[in-house]
Amino acid sequence: MLKNRKVQFLRKVFGSLREDPNSNNVDVCCPNKKCKSHGSSKKKLIIELETQQYNCWVCDVSGRGVSNLVSRFKRAFLEESISIFKNSVKNSEQTAEEQIQLEMPRNFVFLAENLSHPDPDIRACLKYLEDRGVEEKDLWYFKFCATTSGRFRRRVIMPSFDSEGNLNYYVARTIEKVERMKYINSKVPKKTIIFNEFNIDFKKEVTLVEGPFDLTKADDNSVCLLGSSLKEDHALFRKIIKNNTPVCLALDPDISDKMYKIAELLNSYGICVRILDCNGYEDVGAMSKGEFLKRKASAKIFEKDHRILNLISSIRSGSII
């Protein structure tokens, strides 16, 4: 039963606890070292299991979200807390997807090793990347591929590898200007993926961009969201929180509200967040590498009121809230 799992976890983290038989409240000893009750057996911190509201009656530590509380005072248990309180039950469809044995498309070739390939489609893929400002060293770094036949023909394939160098995802982007399906992605749940994790040092500031091809213009310690969201049950989110990794958000201008929402969420876990201004460009991928680095150097630290100010500035003149 889910309630029992939650109670067992809280007992594991905070020691002995007291359950209120008439509510969903659980009383534990306050983990705040500055609290006058800290170190005693007095259970002054109350956690409501359903709403996850918590409050200490002595030191006034309060908030919402058991993961937030654990992040502040018991970080070693953070990943487990997110699993139990945010993602306790996996549906069978997701479990099946996670068990997929991923393989690269058939007949793929590494573009870096085939700069003079005789196939015209392979050469077209190389020309497409060149026109986007991708250099030869980038072909090696990102391990770009292409195929000579099948549904992936005339698509640039960008693979991703986990922390141990195993293939965990790929994105295939068409080089055609008009194409019904711009991308073909591997059938793996995006939230379970940290794109090219083996390239990332989570002890340093990590830049978050929207899509894989944005990475070609970003700095080396960058990872893509594979979309426009980052939530508490995403593997990337957990990795950032676990390592207390500073983040620089460099997302497309047309999703500024989502970007500030992500910044607010990360900030609520004590993560230092900076915002890179992408205005004037469609996305990071449209910038030069020099322009990206210039803008990253001047990225501003996110403050709590920034999202509200962004929402206000987005309201059209004369509109009614």
CA dist 141 and 15 (Å) reads 48
**For the structural domain made of 2-89, what CATH number should be given?**
3.90.580
What does the pLDDT read at residue 279? 92
* Lowest-confidence segment of 40-54, 186-200, 204-218, 259-273 by average pLDDT: 40-54
Average pLDDT across the chain, whole number: 87
Q: Give the model's pLDDT for residue 102.
A: 84
Please identify, in words, the CATH class of the domain defined by 108-190: alpha beta
Q: In the predicted model, is pLDDT for residue 75 greater than 90?
A: no
Give the model's confidence band at 274: pLDDT under 50 very low, under 70 low, under 90 confident, else very high: very high
Q: Which of 91-95, 182-186, 213-217, 226-230 has the highest mean pLDDT?
A: 213-217
Kindly state the helix (H) or strand (E) to which residue 301 belongs, with its residue range. strand 300-301
pLDDT of residue 223: 97
- Tokens in use for 128? 């497409």
| pLDDT value for 321 | 44
Closest CA to 196 of 155, 229, 165, 226: 165
Residues 7-17: pLDDT tens digits?
999 999 999 99
- Alpha-carbon distance of 313 to 273, in angstroms, equals 21
Angstrom distance (rounded) from CA 82 to CA 5: 13
The domain limits of the chain are 2-89, 108-190, 201-314
- Percent of the chain topping pLDDT 70: 88
pLDDT at 101: 66
Strand-pair category, 206-209 with 247-249: parallel
Q: How far is CA 29 from the centre of its chain?
A: 33
Once rounded to an integer, what is the mean pLDDT over residues 230-259?
92
Lowest mean pLDDT of 51-55, 104-108, 126-130, name the range.
51-55
Coil, strand, or helix at residue 182?
coil
List the CATH code of the domain at 201-314. 3.40.1360.10
